[in-house]
Amino acid sequence: MKVAVVGAGISGCLLTHFLGAEGIDVSVFEKSRGCGGRASTKQTDWGQCDIGATIVPAKKAQFRDFMQGLSKQNIVTKWPEKIFVSQPIANLQQPLEHLVGDREYYVFNSKMNAPCRHWIKNARLHSNSLIGQIRYLDGKGWQLNLNGIWQAELFDKVVVTLPWPQSQALIAQSEWPLELPDYSQDWTSCWSVALKLQQVVASDIDLVYLKNHSIQTLVRDSGKPQRPSVFPSEAGENSEIWVIQLANKLSDDLGEQGKAKAIDIATKGLCELFDLPENSVANTHAHYWRYARPSAGQKSLGIFSYHEYGIYLGGDWSFGASIESAYEAALRLSQSIITGE
């Protein structure tokens, strides 16, 4: 069996891993240079930072078992020891509470997209490969239009793991043998901002969740396990990198052109929280995630399986908006493909 997986995010890479374990021949097509999707790591000339997903909460028993297995393989580490949360008031100069919950928290070692290469090591990865259309040739299989050119290779099955709005667009542009259900799902964006400080924050806080604030999370990115050392500041002092993610509604309002404002909000928020002068920030990098997650309060769509034609759709949006949701989607998709049920 030959399977084409469109998208090399967490869902696509994990699916490739599960299918490969069953001896299935998998090719992965990714429009970007690398793997990981929204679990993205940025390498700058002043340091490395996880600019997408910052941490992996694990709630359900099956996913906890999976993450514990990865820990034994030295692929993930439990981190941080403590998580803090604010009260739902605007002022950041407030006592933070230690978050106690029913989740375990992990990060992928070295960088957040590192395991993706591990999961697809036995597959063929086609990077910088935008799939603009797909079509089913009756009795022959699936054909992909890659960067505007129809490819000669045919596949028994195709799995689309893109965010739902992009999956819908791909299907709408394709020669599709049946009608896709008209499910709508609104998505929201997120500005993610990395700040390199010219000093080290003297605090045991590594991760903060803020409630009802312009910022939703602050993470001491360079404090994660097995990260490279941060280049010293110009004065030769120790320095570190923090990643700040703005609230989704604010990110929607700022839009893709709001980079300068996003950096300003992140800088002021970090400096206010830790009582730092704003000139403590030496370098910045910001990325706008247009499709960060489905908007809150929407029903999950599940996966779509069309066994008759051999096409499947799914991703983290199938069961939520997290890496745990991506795992569940990959597992369900692989089971559907393997069993035909």
Based on the domain organization, do 142 and 86 belong to the same domain? Answer: no
pLDDT at 231 over 80: no
* 341 vs 105: CA distance, rounded Å: 33
How many structural domains compose the chain?
Answer: 2
Based on the domain organization, do 276 and 311 belong to the same domain? Answer: no
Based on the domain organization, do 193 and 283 belong to the same domain? Answer: yes
Question: What one-letter code names the amino acid at 57?
Answer: P
168-218: pLDDT as tens digits: 899 989 987 677 777 788 999 999 999 999 999 988 999 999 988 999 999
Q: Decide if 47 is inside a domain.
A: no
52-61: b (≥16 Cβ within 10 Å) or e: bbbbbbbeee
Distances (CA, A) of 268 to 255, 264, 281: 19, 6, 10
Q: Decide if 142 is inside a domain.
A: yes
110-142: pLDDT as tens digits: 999 999 999 999 999 999 999 999 999 988 999
pLDDT of residue 139: 86
Q: Decide if 45 is inside a domain.
A: no
pLDDT of residue 181: 75
What does the block give as tokens for 208? Answer: 């903060």
pLDDT at 91 over 80: no
Based on the domain organization, do 310 and 287 belong to the same domain? Answer: no
* 319 vs 55: CA distance, rounded Å: 18
Rounded (5°) CA angle 306-311-314: 90
pLDDT of residue 196: 96
What does the block give as tokens for 225? Answer: 């396990």
Based on the domain organization, do 124 and 273 belong to the same domain? Answer: no
Based on the domain organization, do 124 and 77 belong to the same domain? Answer: no
* 292 vs 213: CA distance, rounded Å: 18
8-49: pLDDT as tens digits: 999 999 999 999 999 999 999 999 999 999 999 999 999 999
- Please spell the DSSP secondary structure of 16-62, one letter per residue: HHHHHTTT-EEEEE-SSSSSBTTS-EEEETTEEEE-S---EEE-SHH
Torsion sign, CA atoms 21, 22, 25, 27: negative
Q: Decide if 25 is inside a domain.
A: yes
Torsion angle, CA of 86/91/93/94, rounded to 10 degrees? -40
pTM recorded for the entire structure: 0.94
pLDDT of residue 112: 97
Name the 3-class secondary structure at 338: helix
Based on the domain organization, do 193 and 270 belong to the same domain? Answer: yes
Based on the domain organization, do 131 and 143 belong to the same domain? Answer: yes
What pLDDT band is residue 235 in, cutting at 50, 70 and 90? low
Answer with the residue of higher pLDDT: 72 or 171. Answer: 72
DSSP 198: S
Based on the domain organization, do 146 and 75 belong to the same domain? Answer: no
Q: What is the domain extent for residue 159?
A: 2-39+115-185+300-339
Q: Decide if 217 is inside a domain.
A: yes
Contact 241, 266 (CB under 8 A): no
Q: Decide if 325 is inside a domain.
A: yes
Based on the domain organization, do 65 and 26 belong to the same domain? Answer: no
What does the block give as tokens for 274? Answer: 């830790």
* 158 vs 134: CA distance, rounded Å: 9
Average pLDDT, the chain: 93
Contact 30, 125 (CB under 8 A): yes
232: preceding bond cis by omega (within 30 degrees): no
- Rg of the chain over Cα atoms, rounded to whole angstroms, equals 21
CATH label of the domain that carries residue 174: 3.50.50.60
Based on the domain organization, do 201 and 281 belong to the same domain? Answer: yes
Largest CA distance in the chain: 68
Based on the domain organization, do 216 and 277 belong to the same domain? Answer: yes
CATH label of the domain that carries residue 195: 3.90.660.10
What does the block give as tokens for 134? Answer: 């797909």
286-328: pLDDT as tens digits: 999 999 999 988 888 999 999 999 999 999 999 998 999 999 9
How many other C-beta atoms can be found within 10 angstroms of the C-beta atom of residue 223? 19
Question: What one-letter code names the amino acid at 40?
Answer: S
pLDDT of residue 151: 97
Q: Decide if 48 is inside a domain.
A: no
Q: Decide if 151 is inside a domain.
A: yes
